[in-house]
Structure 1
Amino acid sequence: MLRRLLISDFVLVDRLELDFRTGFGALTGETGAGKSILLDALSLLLGERADAGVVRTGCDKADLAAEFELATDSPVGPWLTSQDLEAGDDGLLVRRVVDSGGRSRAYINGMPATATQLRELGEFLADIHGQHAHQALLRPDAQRTLLDDHAGLGVLAKEVGRLWRELVAARKAREEAQQQQAGLAREQEMLSFQVQELEGLNFGAGEWEPLNQEHARLTHAASLLEGVGTALEAVSEGDQPLAAQTERLVVRLFELAEFDPALKDIAELLSEASIRMDEAGHALKRYQDRVDLDPERLAQLDQRIADVMQVTRKYRVQPEDLPGLLAESLARLDSLTAMGDPALLAERERVAEAAFRKSADQLSSKRAAAAKKLSVGVTEAMQELAMAGGRFEIALQAEEEGSAHGLEKIEFQVAANPSQPLRPLAKVASGGELSRIGLSIQVIASASQAVPTLIFDEVDVGIGGSVAEIVGRRLRELGSIRQVLCVTHLPQVAAQANWQWKVAKENRDGQTYSRLVDLDQDGRIEEIARMLGGVNITETTRSHAAELLGV
């Protein structure tokens, strides 16, 4: 559950620290006082998109933080582990900082996080029902999502969608193959010849550079032998070889060093040179023995290079790219072979359809059970909300061919009174009826979800009187198993809350701020009296407010 919220320089709030409680809490205040600011702050902390407009005028940044208490079996712990984020000892701290330029930074337990991670985490922490939630229920996709979420079928629904896409791809491959048989045959023939030619060339990766090096060596073999022979004669095999001359100089300088030690260092340098000269002579000899004039091998290399260059020009690639071209051609040829085999493609389509049907049937079965249960619950709630005899039903309309959403369409149907037949919710519900039905659906669906904190933002618009009192009681009942916060204008709803906060505006130093007051019993009587009677609060309205509160 949400334990604490800290807000700094956010919209009209300079600084606010709130300690939340269990049960059902009401947030009230006059229109424009800033009740939505609290929900906007929570939405940002749960991953909503940030912009510069949330930073209080004249400030560099807005800083938001929320502390959550986690149950021992909360899925948050495993999720944190999967994201390489640290888990707290007894809770969770989420922070969001938005600067005046609109850039934001997010933190989970003090570690940097992304907005995407905040959104994923938020799904485990809180569920916010906005002012337009009832209108959203008119959309078929929203109806389907609500039913799947209520029944915990989100993972299975995603799997069905994935299998549907695989089926569509397999079906498209078969149909394209049937339509393009002639073109595929021509491409297959061309690729077969290309693969045959490349395999016949047998050009391996890394062959090109050694091939050119050997060719260059054989091409210049005569020059190499002539140059090596000249060097060998000068170093060790001539009449006056440098190695022998150097050795004699070394001996002479060591003799002279007996008379002047300064010559010893020079003699040692020449001695090292003599050793190197001797090694060079041996190396030149070995090289001379290895290099041969081999016209036959040179001719082979000339032909090999010519063959490679002919193929590269033909396919407009570099020599080094030939092995990759062969691999690509083989892969494409395998694909074309499969595409050119109607039986194989049909079998792949059959397997894909069987997998889709199996998962979709499971989804349909679980949807049907959840739809029946939710329909009964909403119908019962409608009787309490001044819609006696009304009925609500979730219809699963079969789609034989299926879709990414399964084997049926989901449609919410309603009959506002006993004399009316069931018709689509979007076509029969008036504004007031839609509010009552929508609130019933949200309260019942939320009660079955594992999210510990539920927030309702003026979802009771369009109802009043005894119906409002019943709605308040339903929210109080929901508060016995979840933490519930409701922004409301209805005194009958606020009076049912276990605790109540009031938001008001105040002017300080020429600036407007939102201020939040934690109301005690007397404060609640005054606030609910204001909600009942408006500007002029009388003892009668106070008495009525106290009666609503049961004090």
Structure 2
Amino acid sequence: MLLELTIRNFAIIEELTVSYEEGLTVLTGETGAGKSIIIDAIGLLIGGRGSVDFVRHGSKRAEIEGLFTIDGEAQELDSYLADAGVPIEEGSIILRREITGAGKSICRINGKLTTLAVLRQIGQQLVDIHGQHEHQQLMQTDKHRMFLDRFAEEKLTNSLREYREMFARFQKKRTQLKALSENEQEMAQRLDLIRYQHEEITNADLKPREDEQLAEEKQRLANSEGLYKTVHGSYDALYGEGKGLEWVMTAMNQLEEAAEMDPSLSELKETVTNNYYLLEEASFSMREYYDAIEFDPERLNEIEARLSEISQLKRKYGSSVEEILEYAASIEEELDNLTNKDERLHEWEKELEALAEDLLVEAGNISAIRKQSAAGLEDAIHQQLEDLYMNDTVFQASVKPREPGAMSASALVRQHPFTEYGMDDVEFQVATNKGEPLKPLAKIASGGEISRMILALKSILAKHEGVTSLIFDEVDTGVSGRVAQAIAEKIHRIAEGSQVLCITHLPQVAAMADTHLYISKYGQDGRTVTSVLPLTQEEQTEEIGRMISGVEVTDVTRDHARELLEQASQKK
């Protein structure tokens, strides 16, 4: 649920903080006061498309910040947050979006910088905005499948996931087959190229980490004279007549005599004795080291030549020996495929045909689920439309698979009737009057009918979508009278136990509000300022009266407003 929204330097809004409650909150005000701007700000906050035009004139950046609470049942949202590495603090989440004057977008979740894609992914789990865009979607036939799939989500999710995994394999194999079947000249050129590359890498006979080991050996050889001098000097300082070890031995012998006279010196004697033998062993190791040092200019030249060869290969095939070897392994498979092209083509065609037949089965399962769910959606829509005074309307969700009939597996591969979502075309059809035939929704529905269809769909789908806040931006366009009252009651019913924000010009909807916010604008210091104020009951009566009369609020319109509020109270 959205608890608080803060907007700074966004369009005509200089600074605004609005608190929201559960239930139905309506936003009313004169046209142009900034109602839709607030919804635009929320849309931007949850990942909508940004623009420098949103930045208030004369400001460096626009800022929008929203505080949301989430309940413990939002498991999918918790998963998104965990994947994004965002901690949840006391069941709340803060989204923040900034748009600079240069058009740069900065996104944060609970103070952590994140990408716009992550903000959108999480934001759309929190808020669902419905307005003219949703009307447009309902008028687009290719979006109807999306509405049906939302309704069928619980039954469809597993089948659709399995289908998509198989579809991805099908697409990959189809792409490989197409690449292998391309122009013969291009294939021959590609074969020559990778054959040369493979031979070059193979002939180099690279060993893992060879470059690192050679670099270390080169370092030793290049510094062999200095190493011999310093290590031999260290040995000479310790070993020999009158050197360090001889003096330590003298100290050790003296302490042995002292320990015989005073046993308390035994521990100190042991320490010196142990260190003597350690130093002696170290000196022997030094001698072995400098004895093994080679002054070998020829070997140094060999190493430099080998490192130069590896460096040339790195410029072509990878930044390390391991990457070069990985590249060689990858082109080895391609080389085998191109060398045995005809055989591979035959194998892959068979694999692709088998995948196509499996896809057909999975797509059939999805079609069956959609058809079953379409019947359930139709019943639910009819029930909702009755409440909205569209009793005679017949609604049908038509699911038409791209029927392959007795198509062979090879024909399935060639014609490729599959999409990421299956093989179905879904279209909503309606007959708004008795005796009329069903026709595509996009061709016959009026603005008021579309508004009611959207509201009916949202009433059904709200429980499936799991968002915490719903926003209706003038979804009541084109209706009046008893239909307006039915829409008001429907919106309030959706808001029961959740949060709905609604911009409206209908007094019937405003009367059903649990919270009524009034948006206005005024001039201050030569600039336009927008304000949002919660209305008291008396102020709400005046505002509903203004919505009824349009200009002057009279005693008659006040009485009408009070009557609407009393009726709304009884309905609630």
Report the TM range for the smaller structure's normalisation.
0.7 to 0.9
1:422 matched residue in structure 2: 438
Cα distance in 2 for residues equivalent to 1:516 and 1:484: 17
Q: In the alignment, residue 105 of structure 1 is paired with which amino acid?
A: I
The 5 A counterparts of 1:282-361 are 327=329, 329-336=331-338, 339-341=341-343, 342-361=345-364
2:484 matched residue in structure 1: 468
2:264 matched residue in structure 1: none
Cα distance in 1 for residues equivalent to 2:125 and 2:185: 55
The 5 A counterparts of 1:165-204 are 165-171=168-174, 173-174=176-177
The 5 A counterparts of 1:335-484 are 335-336=337-338, 339-341=341-343, 342-399=345-402, 400=404, 401-484=417-500
1:190 and 1:415, CA in 2 relative to 1: closer, same or farther beyond 3 A? Answer: same
User: Which range moves more in the overlay, 23-32 or 344-353?
Assistant: 344-353
SS at the partner of 2:418? strand
Q: In the alignment, residue 114 of structure 1 is paired with which amino acid?
A: T
Deviation (angstroms), 1:154: 6.6
The answer (yes or no) to whether the contact 1:47–1:122 under 8 Å persists in 2 is yes
Cα distance in 1 for residues equivalent to 2:520 and 2:69: 28
The answer (yes or no) to whether the contact 2:506–2:547 under 8 Å persists in 1 is yes
Deviation (angstroms), 1:99: 3.1
1:133 matched residue in structure 2: 134
2:517 matched residue in structure 1: 501
Deviation (angstroms), 1:361: 3.6
User: Which range moves more in the overlay, 399-408 or 148-157?
Assistant: 148-157
1:123 matched residue in structure 2: 124
SS at the partner of 1:460? coil
SS at the partner of 1:340? helix
User: Which range moves more in the overlay, 538-547 or 59-68?
Assistant: 59-68
1:373 and 1:337, CA in 2 relative to 1: closer, same or farther beyond 3 A? Answer: farther
The answer (yes or no) to whether the contact 2:141–2:442 under 8 Å persists in 1 is no
Cα distance in 1 for residues equivalent to 2:133 and 2:161: 26
1:14 matched residue in structure 2: 14
Cα distance in 1 for residues equivalent to 2:62 and 2:192: 66
1:317 and 1:22, CA in 2 relative to 1: closer, same or farther beyond 3 A? Answer: closer
Cα distance in 1 for residues equivalent to 2:188 and 2:158: 42
SS at the partner of 2:546? helix
Cα distance in 2 for residues equivalent to 1:192 and 1:334: 10
SS at the partner of 2:437? coil
Deviation (angstroms), 1:67: 1.1
Verify: 1:55 aligned to 2:55, yes or no.
yes
1:101 matched residue in structure 2: 102
1:35 and 1:343, CA in 2 relative to 1: closer, same or farther beyond 3 A? Answer: same
Deviation (angstroms), 1:24: 1.2
SS at the partner of 2:80? helix
SS at the partner of 1:536? coil
Question: Residues 219-271 of structure 1, C-alpha deviation per residue, up to 9 Å, x if partnerless?
Answer: xxxxxxxxxxxxxxxxxxxxxxxxxxxxxxxxxxxxxxxxxxxxxxxxxxxxx
Cα distance in 1 for residues equivalent to 2:211 and 2:495: 76
Cα distance in 1 for residues equivalent to 2:472 and 2:401: 34
Deviation (angstroms), 1:359: 4.0
Verify: 1:518 aligned to 2:531, yes or no.
no
Question: Residues 206-230 of structure 1, C-alpha deviation per residue, up to 9 Å, x if partnerless?
Answer: 999999xxxxxxxxxxxxxxxxxxx
User: Which range moves more in the overlay, 193-202 or 157-166?
Assistant: 193-202
| Structure 1: runs of 5 or more not aligned | 212-281, 294-300
SS at the partner of 1:448? helix
1:34 and 1:209, CA in 2 relative to 1: closer, same or farther beyond 3 A? Answer: closer
SS at the partner of 1:119? helix
The answer (yes or no) to whether the contact 2:447–2:477 under 8 Å persists in 1 is no
1:145 and 1:210, CA in 2 relative to 1: closer, same or farther beyond 3 A? Answer: closer
Cα distance in 2 for residues equivalent to 1:194 and 1:57: 59
1:339 and 1:435, CA in 2 relative to 1: closer, same or farther beyond 3 A? Answer: farther
- Using the size of structure 1 for normalisation, the TM-score is 0.74
Q: In the alignment, residue 495 of structure 1 is paired with which amino acid?
A: A
Deviation (angstroms), 1:481: 3.2
Deviation (angstroms), 1:115: 1.7
Deviation (angstroms), 1:468: 0.8
User: Which range moves more in the overlay, 484-493 or 93-102?
Assistant: 93-102
Cα distance in 1 for residues equivalent to 2:145 and 2:558: 45
Deviation (angstroms), 1:109: 1.3
1:296 matched residue in structure 2: none
2:73 matched residue in structure 1: 73
SS at the partner of 1:486? strand
Deviation (angstroms), 1:63: 2.7
Q: In the alignment, residue 456 of structure 1 is paired with which amino acid?
A: F
Deviation (angstroms), 1:157: 4.5
Deviation (angstroms), 1:180: 6.8
1:348 and 1:525, CA in 2 relative to 1: closer, same or farther beyond 3 A? Answer: same
Q: In the alignment, residue 331 of structure 1 is paired with which amino acid?
A: E
Rg larger in 1 or in 2?
1
Count of residues paired in the alignment: 482
RMSD of aligned alpha carbons: 4.5
User: Which range moves more in the overlay, 147-156 or 119-128?
Assistant: 147-156
Q: In the alignment, residue 146 of structure 2 is paired with which amino acid?
A: T
1:77 and 1:384, CA in 2 relative to 1: closer, same or farther beyond 3 A? Answer: closer
SS at the partner of 1:127? strand
SS at the partner of 1:440? helix
Cα distance in 2 for residues equivalent to 1:448 and 1:92: 22
SS at the partner of 1:469? helix
Cα distance in 1 for residues equivalent to 2:418 and 2:116: 34
Cα distance in 1 for residues equivalent to 2:491 and 2:317: 72
Deviation (angstroms), 1:165: 4.3
Cα distance in 2 for residues equivalent to 1:382 and 1:210: 78
SS at the partner of 1:132? helix
Cα distance in 1 for residues equivalent to 2:160 and 2:482: 40
1:45 and 1:543, CA in 2 relative to 1: closer, same or farther beyond 3 A? Answer: same
Cα distance in 1 for residues equivalent to 2:133 and 2:325: 60
Q: In the alignment, residue 336 of structure 1 is paired with which amino acid?
A: L
SS at the partner of 2:142? helix
1:283 and 1:369, CA in 2 relative to 1: closer, same or farther beyond 3 A? Answer: closer
The 5 A counterparts of 1:80-95 are 80-95=81-96
1:200 and 1:22, CA in 2 relative to 1: closer, same or farther beyond 3 A? Answer: closer
Cα distance in 2 for residues equivalent to 1:508 and 1:209: 71
The 5 A counterparts of 1:197-216 are none
Question: Residues 294-343 of structure 1, C-alpha deviation per residue, up to 9 Å, x if partnerless?
Answer: xxxxxxx9xxx9xxx9xx9xxx999x999788645522222236642244
The answer (yes or no) to whether the contact 1:181–1:340 under 8 Å persists in 2 is no
The answer (yes or no) to whether the contact 1:389–1:416 under 8 Å persists in 2 is yes
Q: In the alignment, residue 555 of structure 2 is paired with which amino acid?
A: E
The answer (yes or no) to whether the contact 1:173–1:339 under 8 Å persists in 2 is no
Deviation (angstroms), 1:544: 0.9
The answer (yes or no) to whether the contact 1:382–1:391 under 8 Å persists in 2 is no
Cα distance in 2 for residues equivalent to 1:134 and 1:190: 55
Q: In the alignment, residue 384 of structure 1 is paired with which amino acid?
A: D
